[in-house]
Structure 1
Amino acid sequence: MRIVLLAIFILVVPHVVRAQLDFRSGTFQLKSSPETQRTGLLRLGSNLVVKQMQNGPAVKYPLEEVLTYHLGLRHYVRASSFLMRSPSGWTHEIANNTFVELLDTGSVSLMRYEYVGQTSDKPIYLLQRVGEARATAIPYNAFDGAGQAFYDALAPYVAARPDLLAVMQNKKVTIYSLHTFIHALNRKVPFLDYSMQGSSPSSK
């Protein structure tokens, strides 16, 4: 009997611990009360699950009720109108109010959508001007994180910045330094060629 109980303990406890560790400190806002910032321990799945204490009761909020949320230093907002792989993995669909990570904001918002689980799909980087309803995906190749389509898509956003256009023409910006590039645009400062923390596709 003791052996059976020990075996159950060994099998069950790691799963319980792992489930507890899935919760991370964060904040969130609901569509019904966007002026109220709520805090707690958060876990995102098919719902946003919130606890006030690690061993406390959990409250589930359907994702369609959640406006935005923070997990640690990461900020997640909604974006629409970009092409993404469907959950089935066999087709693609147009994103509609999908949660993406907000990397930089100002006159232009830079966002990133990452697929969940084991997948070879590249992260999708998005740009959206203030006042626009649609987010535009920035294409890039896996070889060097750039390519002509990358530069063509980026050019309209920096048309009023000759210094940043020169950076592009000299091919000094890639997807790995896009965060720094857009940060320079939004803050009206020169571009420095380095990757900002959390901006690399493999940073998670």
Structure 2
Amino acid sequence: MKGGLDGKVVTRAFVELLDSGQVLAMRYKYWLNMPGSTPNNGTIETVYLLRRANSSTTTCINGNRLSGGGARFRETILPYLTERPDLIELVEKRKVALDHLSGIVRALNTGQPYTLAVPYYN
């Protein structure tokens, strides 16, 4: 996965399903030990993944909380939103970012308008 997992390939993992329908949104958390660190002082990293229901290809959503609505986020998510000009506009105008991913996918899957909400951090 480019942009996530520190260049490592994960062939099997448990991921949290955030939303499902025509697009599945998932979250994968993993422990990242920094060079020279002990096992107890690494950090927990989070990777967000998208997959179309009729596909086996999973896409890593690039971005971080500092630049969560940046160019990498936009170029990765826009292909999933082709049928929703309202969601495309929100992404292109940087009204939404990585922290809003679950709500964006929920709006896409339900056909409902996206309601801009304060992101939930956990």
Matches within 5 A, 1:11-90: 82=1, 85=5
Contact 2:64/2:98, CA 8 A, preserved across alignment: no
- For residue 154 of structure 1, the aligned residue among 77, 82, 104 is 77
Give the aligned partner of residue 113 of structure 1: 28
Structure 1 gap ranges (5+): 1-81, 86-90
| Distance in 2 between residues matched to 1:130 and 1:195, nearest whole Å | 27
Larger gyration radius, structure 1 or structure 2: 1
Identity %: 31
Contact 1:108/1:130, CA 8 A, preserved across alignment: yes
Contact 1:104/1:183, CA 8 A, preserved across alignment: yes
Q: 1:97 to 1:110 in 2, by over 3 A?
A: same
Match of 1:132, SS state, is: coil
Cα displacement (A) at 1:118: 4.7
Match of 1:185, SS state, is: helix
Give the aligned partner of residue 9 of structure 1: none
Give the aligned partner of residue 95 of structure 1: 10
Does residue 103 of structure 2 align to residue 188 of structure 1? no
The one-letter amino acid paired with 1:193 is: L
Match of 1:96, SS state, is: coil
| Aligned-CA RMSD value | 2.0
| Distance in 2 between residues matched to 1:157 and 1:136, nearest whole Å | 10
Cα displacement (A) at 1:195: 4.5
The one-letter amino acid paired with 2:75 is: D
- Greater share of strand residues, 1 or 2? 1
The alignment's TM-score, normalised by the length of structure 1, stands at: 0.50
| Distance in 2 between residues matched to 1:93 and 1:155, nearest whole Å | 25
The alignment's TM-score, normalised by the length of structure 2, stands at: 0.81
Does residue 77 of structure 2 align to residue 125 of structure 1? no
**How many residues get paired?**
113
Match of 1:168, SS state, is: helix
Match of 2:95, SS state, is: coil
Over 3 Å off, 4+ runs: 82-85, 116-122
The one-letter amino acid paired with 1:175 is: L
